[in-house]
Amino acid sequence: MANKSLEIRFLFPLVLFLVVKLLCVDGKGFNNNGHKIRKGRWEGKLKMNFYHNSCPGAEDIVRQIVWKKVEANRSLAPKLLRVHYHDCFVRGCDASLLLDSVAGKAVSEKEARPNLSLSGFEIIDEIKYILEKRCPNTVSCADILTLAARDAVSYEFERPLWNVFTGRVDGRVSLATEAARDLPSAGANFTTLQKLFAESDLDVVDLVALSGAHTIGIAHCGVFGRRLLNFTGKGDTDPSLNPSYASFLKSECSDKSLRLNPSAVVGMDPTGPLAFDSGYFVSLLKNKGLFTSDAALLTDPSAAHIASVFQNSGAFLAQFGRSMIKMSSIKVLTLGDQGGEIRKNCRLVN
């Protein structure tokens, strides 16, 4: 039995590879819709151990601080991961989300409605402060955020789950209007999600894998309340939602008067909000995806099939790492690119 389990464990990456190849690539650079697949815009711009000579030990410092913080408060892992997601989908991974608004200028991304519930910025500030003392004007806020997100998720495994390629510089522009326009919504359908991801060179496999980040963290009831109480505007519940799960959510989200309490929270993965595993996909295939955007994955045959493969934790974790490398390289700025700099303070342009 042990040998059989070991055999299955090593077989799943091969199965995943075949599924991904079948669904997305025909071997000549085309996807199943006949569209040419573009190479990542980051290709060749970033590298492993970028700070090996300019700031030795920089990545170790990030990991040590993040692991210490997550050990004390496990909820920081999904928070830092979410900040990284929200940064990369607007202007690319340039730390523009970290900028504060400045009086008399345009409102920054941080104050856009989808970003108001984000937290964990103080962790990035602390890391930046220490690295600036050690290696002034060297390590970008964008790289710190990318490393911190990886290390926050990796803490429970006591090893890095994926490689982080570094060498980013920080953007100087941050606009709330762009965040409102470009961030995937919890209420989005599959067509919208696929379009937003494709605009960042992310395919359907990446879409499904990165949605798996919902296996950790919590959500406010107000974000998905319409699915529970007023799905079509007639006081009804989304019929695609598992009835028992819908009842559970109503009990958790309602106050004593049985009206929705928008500030109440629930775990995004009903199997548990702290363990980074395939529980999200196990729940999703039982119609227990919390958001409309989760349930949307089941409306597309290819995405639904990929989700079924990701019920195996090994397959999910392997692909999640690959998709994170792609996502964290969206439209990156590097030394020499216009509009980039190494910020001294992650909240302010130099």
Identified catalytic residue from 35, 86, 220, 305: 86
pLDDT above 70 as % of the chain: 86
In which band, very low, low, confident or very high, does the pLDDT at 285 lie, cut at 50, 70 and 90?
A: very high
- Average pLDDT rounded to a whole number, residues 132-136: 97
**pLDDT of 3 strictly over 50:** no
Q: What is the pLDDT of residues 40-60, one digit of tens each?
A: 454 558 999 999 999 999 999
Q: What is the mean pLDDT of the chain?
A: 89
Q: What is the pLDDT of residues 299-334, one digit of tens each?
A: 999 999 999 999 999 999 999 999 999 999 999 999
Label the pairing between strands 218-220 and 265-267: antiparallel
Q: What is the pLDDT of residues 171-205, one digit of tens each?
A: 999 999 999 999 999 999 999 999 999 999 999 99
Is residue 220 annotated as a catalytic residue, yes or no? no
- Which CATH topology does 213-327 take? Peroxidase; domain 2 (1.10.420)
In this prediction the pTM is 0.88
**CA–CA dist 224, 130 (Å, integer):** 39
Whole-number pLDDT of residue 20: 47
User: Where are the chain's structural domains?
Assistant: 213-327
Whole-number pLDDT of residue 193: 97
Whole-number pLDDT of residue 9: 46
